[in-house]
Amino acid sequence: MEKYLDIIKNSYSGYFNYLVYEITNFHWENYFYGLLIISLTVWGLEILFPWRKNQKIFRKDFWLDTFYLFFNFFLLNLIALIALSNTAATIFNDLLSVFGLSLSSFQLFDASQLPWYVGLFIFFVVADFIQWGTHILLHRVPFLWNFHKTHHSVKEMGFAAHFRYHWMEPVVYKSILYIPIAIIGGFEIEAVAIVHFFNITIGHLNHANIGWDYGPFKYILNNPKMHIWHHSKEMPNKYGVNFGITLSVWDYLFKTNYIPYSGRDIELGFDDEDTFPKKFINQELYPWSSKENSENKKELS
């Protein structure tokens, strides 16, 4: 037990020192200034080339989403996520060791032995596909949907809406992603950073007030004209459409794509949004306090 407590303590102190270093030192792999530069650039594109010209620069919930941007990218890691992730990974490895195994026992190949661009491509594609499948689970599983409602509570789309999500979402995504990525391990930190910044850029653009679809590349890359329909209040089915994170190709391959016409002015949200709270703290508490979740618990008991 002391071992795990030390991991938690070191995770907190380690990440705090890392965060201070990121803020006080500029370098090319700097996540703090990287996020800031991407956000300001995409916001500038929104201002210069607005798709919905009547939408204000400081749109509805702009400041709430800006807070989510920094909370989910930095503060959440400081509060819980890094410590939780490091502890869970250690517990999992310790359980494997009981049976004389380790993650390397299941490793299909070591990406570090491949040319860097091949390893980069494999990491990007595998991670995106797994996240696409996880995103579908967030819509199909009622318990997970209660967390994902936070993201779908956006009523006016803008770049910072990309990071309006409940803190449980990265827990779900990273838990499901952990084993597959470990099985094809050996990825360089530089490759992870490149993919991470690229995904943030595409994610920001997907939520921005920009009417782009990248022409023929729309069948490969997710884009604002496609992703707006994922946030539509009216859906062609019960669970939703256009689940792509960075790549749209999975939706086209598995027939979950849907763009019936220009979605510029469609209403965003979900059916029971009137019961969903508007403030940050209440949104964070909603999954445990909602009537729907209480009913699900009763059915299981």
Q: What is the pLDDT of residue 297?
A: 44
pTM of the predicted model, to two decimals? 0.88
State percent of the chain over pLDDT 90. Answer: 59
Q: Are 169 and 147 in contact, with CB atoms under 8 Å apart?
A: yes
Q: Is the pLDDT of residue 49 over 60?
A: yes
| CB-neighbour burial class of residue 75 (10 A; exposed 0-12, middle 13-18, buried 19+) | middle
Q: Are 200 and 38 in contact, with CB atoms under 8 Å apart?
A: yes
Q: Is the pLDDT of residue 5 over 50?
A: yes
| CB-neighbour burial class of residue 127 (10 A; exposed 0-12, middle 13-18, buried 19+) | buried
In angstroms, the CA 217 to CA 36 distance is 27
The DSSP code for 247 is B
pLDDT digits (tens, 9 = 90+) for 265-293: 999 999 999 999 999 999 999 998 866 55
The residue assigned the tokens 């019936």 is 260
Q: Are 153 and 283 in contact, with CB atoms under 8 Å apart?
A: yes
> What are the distances in angstroms from CA 190 to CA 29, 131, 186, 207?
8, 20, 12, 26
Find the angle CA(178)-CA(184)-CA(186) to the nearest 5 degrees. 95
In angstroms, the CA 232 to CA 1 distance is 47
Segment 250-266 shows an average pLDDT of 97
